[in-house]
């Protein structure tokens, strides 16, 4: 992932300084979960009333199972209907049949104490 962002000319170090707070909790990748997550304090981009954001990346079929909304091509939050979920699942399967792996990114804004102290 870092190699891709580097090839695209993204200054990852600068972005980390700007967007990644010093207080965070990491849930490392495991082959059982097939994903990893990072919990950060709000940097002002969460919805009002939410003080933390959980970022997740991993196997698309695993991450998709935990999603109820998605961002459309304009960045607008939409409800993840069964029809859209089916279209995404079909695309994941299509890529898998070509021996390609898909990675999905997701986030969830959390209210104070939602999920407990350590989530």
Alpha-carbon distance 94 to 27, whole Å?
A: 29
Short-list 33, 47, 28, CA closest to 107:
47
Tokens representing residue 6 in the block: 């580097």
Residue 21: per-residue pLDDT: 66
Answer yes or no: is 84 within a domain. Answer: yes
Domain total for the chain?
1
Residues of the chain by 3-state class (helix, strand, coil), percent to 5: 30, 30, 40
Residue 116: per-residue pLDDT: 58
- Residues β-bridged to residue 77: 71
Answer yes or no: is 72 within a domain. Answer: yes
**pTM of this prediction exceeds 0.85:** no
* pLDDT by position in tens, the chain (length 119): 778 888 889 898 887 777 776 667 888 888 888 999 988 876 666 666 677 888 899 999 999 999 999 999 998 999 999 999 999 999 999 999 999 999 999 998 887 777 655 55
Asked whether 50 and 42 are in contact (CB, 8 A), the reply is yes
Domain hosting 48: range is 22-110
Residue 26 sits in a domain of what CATH number? 3.40.1110.10
Answer yes or no: is 15 within a domain. Answer: no
Answer yes or no: is 68 within a domain. Answer: yes
Q: Who contacts 86 (Cβ-Cβ below 8 Å, separation ≥6)?
A: none
């Amino acid at each position: 992932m870092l190699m891709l962002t580097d090839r695209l000319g993204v200054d990852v170090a600068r972005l980390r300084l700007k967007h990644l707070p010093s207080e965070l909790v990491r849930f490392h990748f495991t082959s059982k979960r097939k994903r990893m997550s990072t919990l950060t304090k709000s940097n002002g981009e969460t919805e009002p009333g939410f003080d933390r954001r959980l970022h997740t990346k991993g196997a698309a079929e695993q991450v998709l199972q935990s999603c109820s909304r998605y961002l459309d091509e304009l960045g607008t939050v939409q409800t993840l209907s069964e029809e859209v979920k089916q279209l995404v699942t079909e695309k994941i399967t299509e890529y898998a049949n070509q021996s390609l792996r898909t990675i999905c990114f997701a986030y969830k804004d959390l209210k104070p104490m939602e999920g407990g102290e350590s989530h």
